[in-house]
Amino acid sequence: MGNQPLIVLSDDSQRTSGKDAQSMNIQAGKAVAESVRTTLGPKGMDKMLVDSTGNVIVTNDGVTLLSEMDIDHPAADMIVEVAETQEDEVGDGTTSAVVISGELLSQAEELLEQDIHATTLAQGYRQAAEEATEALEEIAIDVDEDDDEILHQIAATAMTGKGAENARDLLSDLVVQSVQTVADDDGIDTDNIKVEKVVGGSIENSELVEGVIVDKERVSENMPYFAEDANVAVVDGALEIQETEIDAEVNVTDPDQLEQFLEQEEAQLKEMAEQVADAGADVLFVSSGIDDMAQHYLAQEGILAVRRVKSSDVTQLARATGATPVTSVDDLSEENLGFAGSVAQKEIAGDQRIFVEDVEDAQAVTMILRGGTEHVIDEVDRAIEDSLGVVRTTLEDGKVLAGGGAPEVELSLALRDYADSVGGREQLAVEAFADALEVIPRTLAENAGLDPIDSLVELRADHDGGNEAAGLDAFTGDTIDMSEEGVYEPLRVKTQAIESATEAAVMLLRIDDVIAAGDLAVQDNDDEDEMPPGGGGMGGMGGMGGGMGGMM
Ligand code: ADP
Ligand code: MG
């Protein structure tokens, strides 16, 4: 065996190993966290993102920012996944989860420098996360499903600091009402809450329609505009003459024959309209087309008909009115009709739509969000999504926590106590974890223009004195009892954030070798100058390949 190095990687691939790999991953993770940090909390700022085609998004929402940012680094992507998991699981707390993850990495960096092994760190972090989850469960407050006051406060907390803020009371009303309406024995499916965004008017004019809004007009001018106490038929098919499968050629030899042929078609279409009327329907929704002639006869019968209804609307209509969709009018009968107190064509923001309201059991609702401009409504919509998520989670779990940094400070104290019982070097990792959690109150203070050290000292003292719910009032700078202030978040927002943040951090820390087929670079580089000099930083990462790429 010679001393010749064995080359197993292609020339284009890059390899980063050992401490360099660790450091590269830590820097990338920290950079992601840093990029969303300033948006955290009631006084967090927004960011404006412009994509390559010039589309603009103004947002404060962690997961939206990260998914729009075009991040291109494997380690950074793992942190983005933390936000995505958080979004899927609870719908809120995405920024917090990412910020905690970044801080766990940052704390780990210091311990790695002191020659604490990554595996020890990982072990300590896992233990700490488990202990933290248990501690959170202990301080969680039980919420009854009909405790409207606390549900409102939860809905409102999720909207704080977002574009929706000035209409918080109204919007949290709409959110709580929507979630309660769609809740049934099978649980809560927020897909049954449709959000219609309307440009024009102000946010305060937003409203809830308990029922369905179909984005279509009635099919003919000769049909009525509205129907009261209406029997509703839903046809998942067409009111048209079926084209024959084979190319049939009709040879018309004399004009009478043609007339006969047309008359026959007309009779068929008339028959269809009559079938609808005979079933007793006042309103007809059809997922496919309605022939002109059929339209004419339907209008004669005084039926309000709508065609080309989206399949999602068909489902919603069936759910809301209790109608059973049939594939052909032949199957239509009284039993498969639904009912709505009012079906009417109305105008919103210059568009004609069909409102199906006063339904017996509104299991589907539509929220009409209004706002001055498209960007405003989009951001309100994102705030509403978060808010729907937290109300749903609260109803599902029945447990909440006071917010404003209170749980993190409480946990931090609890974990420092717990650390004493942990032997070996893991103890240091548990302590680092405790420190890392304080990034939330610290950032809330920083973003509110307060002194983070002063705020933390005060918060710790309050919690030491037994006030579990002491948090930071971002508006006055005082530490106050967050439960009195009505700042609540579901327990799961916190437990999920801690779990995914820990998993991602641990995963990154355990990596000591990065082998890439191409170039490694983080494209987002708005925080470049905050990166430590040398190995880190995004510019640094992009350039890393030169020194380390190649072979093994
Ligand atoms: P995330 O994406 O993590 O939800 P947010 O920007 O929504 O980020 O900020 C959430 C943080 O703001 C939580 O720690 C929450 O407790 C805190 N918070 C929300 N409302 C208030 C308030 N009125 N006063 C103090 N803190 C608040
Ligand atoms: Mg939030």
Atom 11 (ligand 1) nearest CA: 41
**In this structure, how many other beta carbons lie within 10 angstroms of the beta carbon of residue 498?**
27
CA 35 to the chain's CA centroid = 19
Query: Rounded to the nearest whole angstrom, what is the distance from the C-alpha of residue 295 to the centroid of ligand 1?
Result: 54
Domains located in the chain, CATH noted: 14-142+401-551 (1.10.560.10), 212-361 (3.50.7.10)
Atom 4 in ligand 1: residue holding the nearest Cα? 93
Work out the number of other CB atoms within 10 angstroms of the CB of residue 70: 11
Cα Rg of the chain, angstroms: 30
Lowest mean pLDDT among 153-157, 262-266, 328-332: 262-266
Alpha carbons 4 and 49: distance in angstroms, whole number:
50
Which atom of ligand 1 is least distant from the CA of 440?
14
* Angle between helix 148-159 and helix 168-182 axes, rounded to 10 deg: 120
Question: Ligand 1 within 6 A of 474 CB?
Answer: yes
How high is the pLDDT of residue 71? Answer: 86
Closest-CA residue to 101 (of 436, 441, 425, 450) = 436
User: Which residue is listed with tokens 């070097």?
Assistant: 425
Testing ligand 1's pocket by substitution, the residue of 37, 92, 100, 157 carrying the most ligand atoms inside 8 A of its CB is 157
Length of the chain: 552
pLDDT digits (tens, 9 = 90+) for 202-246: 889 899 998 888 999 999 999 999 999 999 999 999 999 876 555
The best mutation among 32, 38, 40 to test binding of ligand 1, ranked by most ligand atoms within 8 Å of the C-beta, falls on: 40
| Type of residue found at 291 | D
Edge-to-edge strands, sheet with 399-402: 141-142, 399-402, 488-490
| Residues 502, 423: Cα–Cα separation, whole Å | 20
3-state secondary structure of 283: strand
Distance 157 CA to ligand 1 centre (A): 7
User: Are the CB atoms for 328 and 313 separated by under 8 Å?
Assistant: no
Q: What is the pLDDT of residue 258?
A: 80
Mean pLDDT of 398-416: 97
Quote the strand ranges of 333-440, DSSP E: 338-348, 351-359, 365-371, 399-402
Q: What's the one-letter identity of residue 542?
A: G
**CA–centroid distance, residue 93 to ligand 2 (Å):** 5
Closest by Cα among 322, 360, 363, 313 to 179: 363
- Is any atom of ligand 1 closer than 6 Å to the C-beta of 87? no
Residue partners of 457: CB distance under 8 A and separation at least 6: none
- Take residue 463 and report the two structure tokens written for it: 């919690």
User: What is the phi/psi pair of residue 405, to 5°?
Assistant: 90, -10
CA distance 260 to 275: 22
Q: Evaluate whether 204 touches 236 at the Cβ level (below 8 Å).
A: no
Q: Does ligand 1 have an atom closer than 6 angstroms to the CB of 42?
A: yes
Which ligand lies nearest the alpha carbon of 33? 1
Q: Is 157 in the pocket of ligand 1 (CB under 6 A)?
A: yes
For residue 512, what are its two tokens?
Answer: 């000591």
Q: pLDDT per residue over 455-501, tens digit each?
A: 999 999 999 999 999 999 999 999 999 999 999 999 999 999 999 99
Please give the Cα distance from 161 to 39 (Å, whole number).
9
Burial class (CB in 10 A: 0-12, 13-18, 19+), 288: middle
Q: Residue 192: what pLDDT? A: 86
Catalytic residue list: 61, 94-95, 386
Question: Does 189 or 449 have the greater pLDDT score?
Answer: 449
* Structure-token pair, residue 261: 């042929």
**Coil, strand or helix at 16:** strand
Window from 331-345, 354-368, 401-415 with minimum mean pLDDT: 354-368
Q: Which ligand is nearest to the CA of 160?
A: 1
> What is the C-alpha to C-alpha distance for residues 336 and 331, in angstroms, rounded to an integer?
9
Residue that is written with structure tokens 């509104």 in the block: 362
